Amino acid sequence: AQSVTQLGSHVSVSEGALVLLRCNYSSSVPPYLFWYVQYPNQGLQLLLKYTTGATLVKGINGFEAEFKKSETSFHLTKPSAHMSDAAEYFCAVSDRFTGGGNKLTFGTGTQLKVEL
Amino acid sequence: EPEVTQTPSHQVTQMGQEVILRCVPISNHLYFYWYRQILGQKVEFLVSFYNNEISEKSEIFDDQFSVERPDGSNFTLKIRSTKLEDSAMYFCASSEEGTSNSPLHFGNGTRLTVT
């Protein structure tokens, strides 16, 4: 069974500082990997995903994430935080070899706070 | 940009009552899902639906739950006899394809409170 661990349920950064949100997964084979963001009173929005190929993937709003197989990690970064980045961020995985829909397994989420 | 819409945004119901949560997926999408998030816990998969059939369901999705696509646009989740532990945020999602790398588009959710 797959699982996702997000270290740090709350992360606080200063505006302009580096954002690093951690995600580790457990899976018998490398899964597909996703980061979603949830702004207050909104649904989950896809930030980026890794399927195959280049291990550094770029997403919306200046975010990027790097798949590291040896570390079973998919950490999310952004060089310079903006106030509008304050939201909850979810890492998720799906099994490469299933069909009939995309069943995601989510982490517990990390609430990002950006301070002036 | 097309979006998934869910109604109502909040639903309060008494224990034992039936409740129907409604969703309008993105029009050209073929796969539909329900997820839920109990306060303070993970977002959990409930069910996926394609071609008027359930594709996959989780252990949570027991006989008290059902899904339906009653017409060409709506996708509903019914809970027959609600329990206190059904209180959660319920998210509907849709995807264009059914592959496991196909991005899901989520609605804003329905917050269900069972009293």
Q: What is the pLDDT of residues B27-66, one digit of tens each?
A: 999 999 999 999 888 899 999 999 999 999 999 999 999 9
Taking contacts as CB-CB distances below 8 angstroms, the residues of chain A near B4 are 43
Interval A57-77: pLDDT, tens: 999 999 999 999 999 999 999
Contact A43 B91 (CB under 8 A): yes
Nearest-CA distance from A6 to chain B in Å? 11
Q: Which of A9-23, A99-113, B12-26, B74-88 has the lowest mean pLDDT?
A: A99-113
- Say what the pLDDT of residue B101 is: 80
Beta bridge partners of B5: B24
pLDDT at residue B72, as a whole number: 79
Considering only CB atoms, which chain A residues are within 8 Å of B100?
32, 94-99, 101-103
Query: Which residues of chain B have a Cβ shorter than 8 Å from any chain A Cβ?
Result: 4, 6, 31, 33, 35, 41-45, 48-50, 55-56, 91, 93, 95, 98-109
How far away is chain A from the Cα of B57, in angstroms, using its nearest Cα?
A: 9
What totals of helices (H) and strands (E) does chain B contain, helices first?
A: 0, 11
Dihedral sign from CA coordinates of B25, A60, A94, B20: negative
- Mean of pLDDT values over B65-83: 94
- Residues B87-115 have a mean pLDDT of 92
Q: Residues 6 or more apart from B29 whose CB is under 8 A from it? A: B94, B95, B96, B105
pLDDT at A11: 97
The more confident residue out of B72 and B13 is B13
- Nearest chain A residue to B38, by CA: A108
Query: What type of residue sits at position A5?
Result: T
